[in-house]
Structure 1
Amino acid sequence: MKARTKYQHQVVAANERLLPLTERQQTWAFRHTVEHFAFRTPSGQTTCLDCGHRWNGTKAKHCRCPKCGARLKLEDTLRRKADSRSYFSVITVQDGLQVQRVFRLDVSYHKGRPAQTVAREVIRYWINENGKTAVTALRRTMGYYRDSFSYWSDLELRNDNMDYRYIADCYVYPNYTAIPKLRRNGLKGSFADIAPQQLMKALLTDNRVETILKSGRKKDLKHFIDHPQDLDFCWPSYKIVLRRNYRITDMGIWVDYLRMLDRCGKDLHNAHYVCPADLHAEHDKYQEKVRIIREQEKRKEQMKRAMENEARFRELKGKFLGLEFTDGTIIVRVLDSVVAYYEEGSALHHCVGECEYYLKPDTLVFSARIENKRVETVELSLETFKVLQSRGLCNRNTEYHDRIVELVQKNVGLIRKRMAA
């Protein structure tokens, strides 16, 4: 990709002047970014794969090499070779530009020999003081793996993509240099598992990031950089958190809690809500409230849809409306409106309304009551004139079940007359 803009030409020029990786940087990467192994044979002979030293008598899962002092992970095996790989970054300044240099470290282990390391530079992220970025990197080949680089290609200008950003989120060499504006905006110390290029760009373009970083809340900042939409939503509330010096124990839970507060119409500028004494308890409390609100909204939507079906219901069931009969104690009457179906289902906790029984053309639904208290809901077939089901509270049968079914069956003649009318 050829340089076209003034900034790209500046990057290309600086790209040629970067110094090679130092031995100290490569040694740090070997010590801190890959696993270190010791192979143990059945006889108990243990070999450090870092330096090749051998000794006997180690029984723990981890140990230190008596010769080089490396902390090793023990494996019981007869293997003689192993490989390891990692990515690490070196942060530096070149020609007034901030640059993140990403290296791939390949380590080859062989019993009895010192480990062999090879570090290849694969990506460079360039950032100027205005937060403008550019990428110089090796060419990627077609393939399933993210790190399918063409190592014979040159570090040239490339279009940024998800694969480069994913790989650049890696270990960072602790001794780094930064441009004056980044130092002024608070960049110092570790990157706290935040992708370096994302943090540096955000720090140069968003003063909210500067505020959070200078307050020492790097864990909170990591969440906001990984979820920028959360920062936009939460910022007014988060300023209250900073002023109150409130410590958020779980950022994901806190953000979800704020969204539920907003759903419930609470004031997100009120410290009483924003800084709860027990975050998890309040989260669970408002989760239940949101569930109730959603159920109410769902019911309203169902009722709205049901009212649109009222005319269809009256066309199907109009000749039966007002029908009722009794044995002196139990009164059985036809449900005479769509709303009545939903009220019946809500009272007895079953689905006669939600499942739209009012639109079934070949059944008739009754409410069986004693002294106007709902007891069971009865569905009768208009084809066989038999009771299909009779359900009480939570779909259970009541002590009056058989009596209700018998009462309905005795009055089938009244239903037949209504149909013939």
Structure 2
Amino acid sequence: MPGFTLEAQQRQWCDQLRALAAERLSPLAEKGEAGRVNRGLLAALGELELLQPLFTAGALELCLLRESLAYACTEAETALALQGLGAYPVHRYGSPALRGRWLPEVIAGSAVAAFALSEPGAGSDAAALALRAEPTRTGWRLCGQKCWISNAPQADFYTVFARTTQGAGARGVTAFLVPADRAGLSGEPLDMLSPHPIGSLLFDSVPVGAEDVLGELDHGFAVAMDTLNRFRPSVGAFALGMAQAALDATIAHTKRRTAFGGPLSAQQSVSHQVAEMATRIEASRLLVYAAASAYDAHEAKAASGGQGERERSGGRGQVKAAAMAKLMATETAQYVVDRAVQLHGARALQRGHLLEHLYREVRAPRIYEGATEVQRTIIAKELYA
């Protein structure tokens, strides 16, 4: 589609990002410890000025950034994405004091951000949050748990979603910025399939005040959804980067690997699988770019019309496009990486092989930031609206 053909400058930038990730970031990623925040890698992202676009770039540019980094260094991509997810609510909804305190350090890679939405009983059903914000004379105290929180418990601050009005569903949730050293806040790491830092948090009467609120009281669910809609297309881009890396490795392998008297690529059963992998990737890429462009168009319209225009338009087409992109790209990446492993054979299962790494990495995006089933629910709801 001509509308989604990248310009020469964009292609050149993607090539530069791939090279940068391979040469500068991948060696730092290898020095990291599985399950722990790699602060050296994060500092390098800041030094290379790759964290600033999380807040200033359009959605399409963000997709190109994440796809390019993921192709060569998934750890760098994930570190970057988690900074954006945790700090974007501060950028968009925080007071000048909160933005001034935290965003410069986030952009420099010296402060680690985290997005604390999920709970033991509220994963896909985010409106069912049980973490309580109990009123006090000076504000609230947070009581409850969060679980499967990326960068926990090693982050420097958390964007936390808590229930301020009981029985109000999504309308009774408020977003707070909670520094990691706040009294009563503790956590522990979780041992997960992928090597990312993920943990649980315990809130034992953690004090928060009006100065910690992000956005408006009881409107935190909108903060969460706005953030997820911003990053959802680029989750698809992350998946595309992994899928493209797996495809390229498979093409190279099937060209040079011989079996039954010739290269694997000469066997129709192999070449047809590779063709299917490439087709699904390209279709997913178009969906991701279209969703990112729809988001950018919606933001531009909202900016020209003000906040009222944002609320009136609601971005319904953009929400559906983002859900479709995330659904298609993450499912495609799982398919492509699985096929790539099969075509490589046992060598792809060896620890340290690119595909062994991608096989562990590719599973999680089908769950986080809205599982595949949630994306289908969103799409269906928009279709029947």
Same fold (TM over 0.5): no
Which structure's relative contact order is higher, taking Cα pairs within 8 Å and 6+ residues apart? 2
TM, length-normalised to structure 2 = 0.22
Structure with the larger strand share: 1
Structure with the larger helix share: 2
